[in-house]
Structure 1
């Protein structure tokens, strides 16, 4: 019988790794992390956690603006340097804290980038370590356009360390990250331009609500150029000139690249092990196993159609732990909600509105302008669109526009997953006058 150094080695220490690792340790398994960057992964250090700490101040600015007509006068002054210092105060403490918590939990940390020697052996720095099972949880990184001058393009990690706001920014791409940051920057007084190759931004979201966000941003001063690609970026003194495929020339102090993210699969030695990868990540089976049955992939590094989000990474991490503890069930994802944190927010879950519209014989669509029913000055145009299955009257999908969307979509997640009906909801008393109370009375 082969003896290994560990029962499980995780390459990466983010949400795709640490949740399951802690479960395994509690069951007596010997576990190690190999981490070449900060402990905690992208979300904690360079992604959603860091961004949301900045976002809160802009939500306040949004609320103040919405209440101007109700008697709230004046506008708070945003001091970016102090807001960034606040972000660092909170976020920079996490890796150090995890560096204390993880060893106390019984998990060994190997700082450095790991690569496979064989299916049970990892090389990190100047040593090799072995494990019965290995989980690849290396996540994704921002992609870069292959154009002249791409060295001047900044990514989300750069932005979340930005010490001083520029006078003007150009966002390349109109995806989630660009639209979220643009919503913030225009409120900070930055001149914002967004250039996108497509005809419409945020293609995974209900186009009616996306149009609302675009219209609002345009009224606030954001300039959009759709059906345009970037050909060239040139530095001119302290600014940059951006040339598009149509010959348009744009100028800004800061260029942000929001053209997507790619899986971190290079330099791991996967090809030598016969582990297949695609442009979207590592190919796995219905147990999240790679071509090597003792090597799993977890989180954003997986080639999958399920949204690549922190909650799905956590779900996969916990699932793999159950498999390693003897559960032979294939993975079955619940309905996954997702949100774009523009101002206002848009949240989606389940069957899309567009798919329901294409199958009108099976589904009914109901629109609820819930913003008119409670806090009208703050959410006058807030709206919910629901998809019902005609045969059962179960809610099968939803899209929400409004600043309360992230919380409301979590309630709808429960309703959809548990197939609750109007009759079921009538048996529950919700807190009043919270927005959820007013909303649930209309489902």
Structure 2
């Protein structure tokens, strides 16, 4: 069957769906394609289900920290019950998404999408011709040069484990490894993280990362730095990871080996060359309007697009708003990447927004850095948190916040206040005059500036 549409969307995550819905509201005929259950990574196998598991880990962590301070530790995570609770969030998503799309009059197709020519997407036996095409296909785990990669478990599979293995090895020191490692450790597993380089979590402030590594190790997570994995072998139900650590052989046995070494755009099976769509390592090559540089009918957003944007759901949603505006009104709007708050939901949490100290100096700003150990502040001392630190990057000339880097159990919420300050170019003098409810984490902001 061959069908003509105003817009064909590859992907069904939040970014893809928002563009599809807006264009449909404008009267366009819209088709959406996904080879997996509808809803996308974040609601089904990413940030949303992960945060459910993090919530349970936080409760265990809080009781452990407050042991001897009035709270008696002893509660444990029942993994199967926790996973059943998680599924109450994820299981309704695919049907709910499809019903919402059908109610709006959007046509849905299941299967692998690939270009047949510059204006046609092939899905099984169907050919969908689009005046415009949006590629919002997301990302997938990067392929690792390791013998035995078929023995790796991936993040979406980890989030579906019916039982938690006793000993888990994470390959790669990215945010997926750290988040899952803290969850698994609080649930009673022995946990190892293998990081090829000297520093994990490379997009975050090195000093705060070092503190997080120290805290992680004190909570039983074993982190192996400067260690390169060469092979994974399976013996019975167990696995052996072998590699090189500081020029010496390295060997580690475990019950599960999880891929946590980063993700890449999921575009390699789209037959982009047939669609005359140029691409690069970071995704589809786009101009400032998120339009393909080689095929003007094609746009890309989110992890599938080669932009300055971080691989985060809010960034993908922002890019989708830009694409929607440009589809409906012509190319006029460009994305703004100045404010992209990012959080590692470890325990404690690590967050960042804006410029690093190094980037601020490289860009010629007259920089003041407020680096403060806040672990003795009331906000953190009252719950016996050992590690808490902030590093605020300020432009002395304009008195504006350029960047903020936080480590604490409150870092996820606090980073949004700094994102607001950067977005609206607020002066620190103005922020200090703000009256916050007390005692709250936000009431500390003035003292950080």
Structure 1 residue runs without a partner (length 5+): none
Q: Tell me the CA shift for residue 425 of structure 1.
A: 2.9
Q: Tell me the CA shift for residue 318 of structure 1.
A: 1.1
What are the Cα deviations for residues 26-85 of structure 1, in whole angstroms up to 9, with x where unaligned?
A: 222221111111111111111111111111100111111222242111231210010011
Q: Please tell me whether residue 374 in structure 1 is matched to residue 379 in structure 2.
A: yes
SS in 1 for 2:130: strand
Q: Is the 8 A contact 1:346 1:405 kept in 2?
A: yes
Q: Is the 8 A contact 2:394 2:401 kept in 1?
A: yes
Aligned residue in 2 for 1:228: 227
Q: Please tell me whether residue 191 in structure 1 is matched to residue 190 in structure 2.
A: yes
Matches within 5 A, 1:38-437: 38-245=37-244, 246-290=248-292, 291-333=294-336, 334-356=338-360, 362-371=366-375, 372-378=377-383, 379=385, 381-425=387-431, 428-437=434-443
Q: Is the 8 A contact 1:356 1:364 kept in 2?
A: no
Distance in 2 separating the partners of 1:262 and 1:426: 41
What are the Cα deviations for residues 305-345 of structure 1, in whole angstroms up to 9, with x where unaligned?
A: 32111001101111111001114324131411111111101
Distance in 2 separating the partners of 1:256 and 1:196: 13
SS in 2 for 1:285: coil
Structure 2 residue runs without a partner (length 5+): none
TM-score, scaled relative to structure 2: 0.93
Q: Is the 8 A contact 1:370 1:438 kept in 2?
A: no
Distance in 1 separating the partners of 2:387 and 2:220: 20
Q: Is the 8 A contact 2:360 2:402 kept in 1?
A: no
User: Which stretch shows the higher mean deviation, 370-379 or 101-110?
Assistant: 370-379
Q: Is the 8 A contact 1:165 1:190 kept in 2?
A: yes
Q: Is the 8 A contact 2:118 2:274 kept in 1?
A: no
Q: Is the 8 A contact 1:388 1:394 kept in 2?
A: yes
Q: Tell me the CA shift for residue 360 of structure 1.
A: 8.6
Q: Is the 8 A contact 1:206 1:354 kept in 2?
A: no
Q: Tell me the CA shift for residue 11 of structure 1.
A: 0.8
Q: Tell me the CA shift for residue 14 of structure 1.
A: 0.6
- The total of aligned residue pairs comes to 441
TM-score, scaled relative to structure 1: 0.95
Q: Tell me the CA shift for residue 238 of structure 1.
A: 1.9
Q: Tell me the CA shift for residue 4 of structure 1.
A: 7.6
User: Which stretch shows the higher mean deviation, 50-59 or 222-231?
Assistant: 222-231
The alignment's C-alpha RMSD in Å is 1.9
Distance in 2 separating the partners of 1:95 and 1:5: 25
SS in 1 for 2:96: helix
Distance in 2 separating the partners of 1:370 and 1:104: 51
Distance in 2 separating the partners of 1:159 and 1:426: 44
Q: Is the 8 A contact 2:116 2:275 kept in 1?
A: no
